[in-house]
Structure 1
Amino acid sequence: MNKLFEQGYLGTQVLKNRYILAPMTRVSSEADGTPNERVHRYYERYAKGGFAVVITEGVYPDTKHSQAYEFQGGLATEQHAANWKPIVESVQSHGALMIAQLMHGGAQTQGNYYSDVTVAPSPFTPPSDKAEIYGGSGPYPEAKELTLAEIEEVKQGFVQSAKYAKKAGFNGVELHGANGYLLDEFLSKGINQRTDQYGGSVENRVRLLKELIVDVREAVGGTMIVGIRISQLKATDKSYKWPGGEEEAATIFSELGKTDVDYIHISDDDATTPGFGDGTMTMSEAAKKYSGKPIIACGSLGDPEKAATVIEQGQADFIAIARQALANPDTPNRVKNGKPLDTFDGKAILTPRAYVKDFELEM
């Protein structure tokens, strides 16, 4: 297990080990997105438990269309930033870094405090019903197509949110370009039907992500971590694969590799399985090969031996865990001290509605 406890680096920041808390939808803030004491206790326990980095749930960056769930945390106002500050300080006081994941819900929005309108690259209706575990029910509405002017507003929302993250003391920000939310919708050929500079070719579909990396980096400076999360699967379509397979992956990761993003975080059902069909490399391997960036692998890596193997074989540089962390907030400390890990039983969710049914947590 020694590889899991070696120091690592993201940008200019030193990580005490290779364990990272994956972002998980918590829907535990106030109705207006202000994080509260419940949120504070939730994140602090992982820092106490030995994680090198704590990544927040996807927090929405603006007060227009970005909020995806009721009671989702926000980083879109001065008040949001002020309430995140003591949480960040608490996490850092236990020796962990804290990264804010900035997420625009796009068409996968099922609860917004500010608007009933949903937006996407093109008119689009997610293929499955809203998630009951997060308070939704019934089908999603059709999202309206963003104009070029509205895309600029979306970008400015991310930039302003990154500035709020810096003001709150976060060590970094992660752009949520995975799991079917807005940035991933731009990336996905089956959803993005635009005919302008943001649609069509893979290079055009990854353009918004690259522009955001440039703009956010300029806003927060060179010492703050800037990362991005990428996946093929969607929260509303877990069987989705990039139609171009490894060739498409090569273009996406190569284009991201041309930016000064500090890491790429891969979200998958199982980080050790072939990403593009039998006999192909994993998503993490492809990201590492074609981008040249540090890679965080996430997906069924709760078993420490399995997680260590991913690092030992050079498939990724860090591992992120979700369900296993809910069952064992002190996973790194337990593994380091040779103590057994409890099994996740589906009852570890922390939300105002206190759901206890089994569900997917890594979205």
Structure 2
Amino acid sequence: MTSTTNKSIEPLFEAFHSEKLDLDNRTVMAPMTRGFSPEGIPGEDVAAYYRRRAENGVGLIVTEGTGINHPSSVSGASIPLFHGEESLNGWKHVVDEVHKAGGKIAPQLWHVGMTRKKGELPNEEALPVGPSGLSLDGEQVTEPLTTEETEQLVEAYAQAAADAKRLGFDAIELHGAHGYLIDQFFWEQTNKRTDRFGGDIVGRTQFAVEIIEACRREVGPDFPIIFRFSQWKMNDFNAKLAKTSEELDSFLQPLVSAGVDIFHCSTRRFWEPEFEGSDLNLAGWTKKLSGKPVISVGSVGLNGEFTSFNSAEATSLDNLMGKLENDEFDLVAIGRSLLIDPEWVKKIREGRAEDLQPFDKAALQQLY
């Protein structure tokens, strides 16, 4: 196996201090859908799964996507929900366990939008919803959301944010990436609206802007709001919301003004430059343009990209450390490496490269 790093790993273990969030180090557990919450309720096994990461030194845990209070927010009977007494009680136990272990945790608030198929559980009768009723491939599946329905969705996100703060979470993350509902409003291929929620790249941010503002209203001025976005979609890895840095700037500014504290910039490979003429990745550009702290992510610590979900070996962190040293980004989200190995952060810190676990997709079938 390749040595994990020749460079100093110290930058990864410096404390992080921002206006509203303080962390012991720069590591983040990336949100990863697991589907181990029958009837949408996270149980003791889910709490233990997150606690193990906190015990082993992860700076911030971002949970798997959790469904807001809307009938078609998730697709699958075992995807956790973020509404209803039993599900919220389950999440309260998760928070308590992570805090007992000295960790910090944010729920990822999620609606899958038009990626949901008709007839899927948990609510078979609920139709998929989206800005224009279009699938990611552009097929007309349902009617567009009405303005009133769109506003109701905004309030559902706000309620989830209020519940997250009440339950004791340390922040929230809004899932605006990968072709799910918020991203369907961002993307010109899925948003053909002519009301205030449509139009050019700035107009298409309005749904997210109103969600962020509504969440801020509920959680107050000092509670951290993290916003995750991506260029790529699940059906198109080469998709671009912003084709130039100028377009990215136009996209980011309304979100900054609305109240985002930290951007989580989802890429498949963190080392790839986002635009020609610069080595900066998406997180690096986002930090430069927005002035906000950013989380970078994308196949950290592994030699195979996550979208294949095949096996992958541990690999050098030198490139990552170089970018972190140069302040290209502030925090680093780790996905599959932490999914297979709850001790990944601790092993990196202790220089135990030989003990790192290779990723195998069989790991998706259990909670390590």
Instruction: State the TM-score, normalized to the length of structure 2.
Output: 0.87
What is aligned with 1:228?
A: 227
Cα distance in 2, alignment partners of residues 345 and 311 from structure 1: 27
Task: Note if 1:24 corresponds to 2:35.
Answer: no
The structural deviation recorded for 1:127 is: 3.2
Which residue of the partner structure matches residue 168 of structure 1? 167
Q: Deviations over 1:186-208 (max 9, x none)?
A: 01111111111111111110111
SS in 2 for 1:224: coil
Cross-structure match for 1:95: 102
Equivalent in the alignment of 2:347? 334
Distance, in Å, in 2 between the alignment partners of 1:175 and 1:35 is 19
Unaligned regions of 5+ residues in structure 2, if any?
A: 1-8, 302-315
The answer for the alignment partner of 2:92 in structure 1 is: 85
Aligned to 2:335: 322
What is residue 359 of structure 1 aligned with on the other side? none
Q: What's 1:42 paired with?
A: 49
Distance 2:105 2:19 in 1: 14
Name the structure 2 match of 1:133: none
Cα distance 1:78–1:10, how it changes in 2: closer, same or farther (>3 A)? farther
Report the Cα offset of residue 10 of structure 1: 4.3
What's the CA shift for 1:278?
Answer: 6.6
Structure 1 partner of 2:304: none
**What aligned pairs does 1:53-132 form with structure 2 within 5 A after superposition?**
53-110=60-117, 111-114=120-123, 115-127=125-137
Which of 337-346 and 234-243 deviates more? 234-243
Cα–Cα, structure 1 residues 69 and 194, in superposed 2: closer, same or farther, change >3 Å?
same
Deviation at 1:245, TM superposition (A): 3.0
Deviations 1:125-146 (A, max 9, x none): 2339xxxxxxxxxxx9824311
How far apart are 1:123 and its partner, in Å? 2.3
Q: Secondary structure at the match of 2:232?
A: strand
1:231 partner SS = strand
Q: Does the 8 Å contact 2:30/2:334 carry over to 1?
A: yes
Aligned partner of 2:295 in structure 1 is 296
Residue 49 of structure 1, CA deviation: 1.7
- Output the CA distance in 2 between the equivalents of 1:47 and 1:29: 20
Which of 311, 331, 347 aligns to 2:362? It is 347
**Whole-Å separation in 2 of the counterparts to 1:272 and 1:310:** 9
Amino acid at match of 2:329: A
Give the counterpart letter for 1:116 in structure 2.
A
Do 2:226 and 2:264's aligned partners in 1 also have CA atoms closer than 8 Å?
A: yes
Superposed CA offset, 1:48-84 (max 9, x none): 1210111001101113221233311110222211111
Distance in 2 of aligned mates of 1:143 and 1:299: 33
CA RMSD of aligned residues (A): 2.0
In the alignment, residue 69 of structure 2 is paired with which amino acid?
A: D
Structure 1 Cα separation of the partners of residues 76 and 319 of structure 2: 33
CA contact (8 A) 2:136 2:190 kept: no
What letter matches 1:144 in structure 2?
Answer: E
Question: Aligned letter for 2:296?
Answer: A
Structure 1's 256 and 233: CA in aligned 2 closer, same or farther, altered over 3 A?
Answer: same
Give the fraction of aligned pairs with identical amino acids, expressed as a percent. 31
Which stretch of structure 1 is more off in the superposition, 21-30 or 252-261?
Answer: 252-261
The 5 Å alignment of 1:217-256 reads 217-242=216-241, 244-256=243-255
Q: Deviations over 1:235-269 (max 9, x none)?
A: 22222122643222111122222232210001101
1:339-358: CA deviation from partner (whole Å, max 9, x where unpaired): 01222122211459x9xxxx
* Cα separation, 2, equivalents of 1:117 and 1:53: 34
Aligned to 2:311: none
Deviation of the 1:277 alpha carbon: 4.6
Could you tell me whether the CA contact under 8 Å between 2:173 and 2:225 is conserved in 1? yes
| Equivalent pair of 1:328/1:342 in contact (CA under 8 Å) | yes
Distance in 2 between the 1:332 and 1:351 partners?
Answer: 20
Residues 160-239 of structure 1 aligned to structure 2 (within 5 Å): 160-239=159-238
**SS of equivalent to 1:241:** coil
Separation of aligned partners in 2, 1:193 and 1:180: 15
Give 2:58's match in structure 1, choosing from 36, 45, 51: 51
Note the residue ranges of structure 1 that are not aligned, 5 or more in a row: 129-139, 355-363
Shift of residue 17, structure 1, vs aligned partner: 0.2
- Give the match's secondary structure for 1:258: helix
Q: 1:161 to 1:106 in 2, by over 3 A?
A: same
